[in-house]
C-alpha cells in the first residue's frame, strides 16, 4: 500500500444486490502537501527524470493499476 493513497469504508447493506467492495481507495499525490516547492530539492538524473516524468523525487507519484481488491477495476477489465 502506497502512502500516497487513502482508504475509506463505504456502508454495506445486507440487501445489496452485488458482492460488496468493502474498501475504496483514492490518490493523495504529493502536490497536495507541498503548496510551494522549496528551492534546492534533490534532483533525479536526466534519464530518471524522463522515465518518471519529474525532476524531483519528492514530486514523484507512483500509480498501481492493480487495485481490484481495493475497489478499482484493473488488468484489462473491460474484456476482450
Partner 1 sequence: MWIYEKKLQYPVRVSKCDVKMAKYLTEQYGGADGELAAALRYMNQRYTIPNKVIGLLTDIATEEFAHLEMIATMVYKLTKDATVEQLEEAGLGAHYANHDRALFYNNAAGVPWTATYIAAKGDPIADLYEDIAAEEKARATYQWLIDMTDDVDLQDSLKFLREREIVHSLRFREAVEILKEEQGRKTIF
Give the footprint of partner 1 on this chain (CB under 8 A): 27, 29-31, 34-37, 50, 52-54, 59-63, 65, 67, 72-78, 80
Query: What minimum distance in Å lies between the beta carbon of 23 and partner 1?
Result: 16
Query: What minimum distance in Å lies between the beta carbon of 14 and partner 1?
Result: 29
Strand segments (E) across the chain = 5-8, 24-27
CA–CA separation, 63 and 79 (whole Å): 22
Residue with Cβ nearer partner 1 (14 or 76):
76
Amino acid at each position: 500500500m502506497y502512502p500516497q493513497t487513502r482508504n475509506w469504508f463505504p456502508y454495506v447493506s445486507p440487501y445489496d444486490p452485488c458482492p460488496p467492495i468493502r474498501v475504496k481507495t483514492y490518490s493523495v499525490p504529493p502536490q497536495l502537501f507541498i503548496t510551494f516547492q522549496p528551492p534546492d530539492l534533490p534532483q533525479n538524473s536526466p534519464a530518471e527524470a524522463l522515465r518518471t516524468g519529474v525532476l524531483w523525487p519528492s514530486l514523484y507519484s507512483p500509480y498501481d493499476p492493480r487495485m481490484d481488491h481495493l475497489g478499482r477495476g484493473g488488468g484489462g477489465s473491460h474484456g476482450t
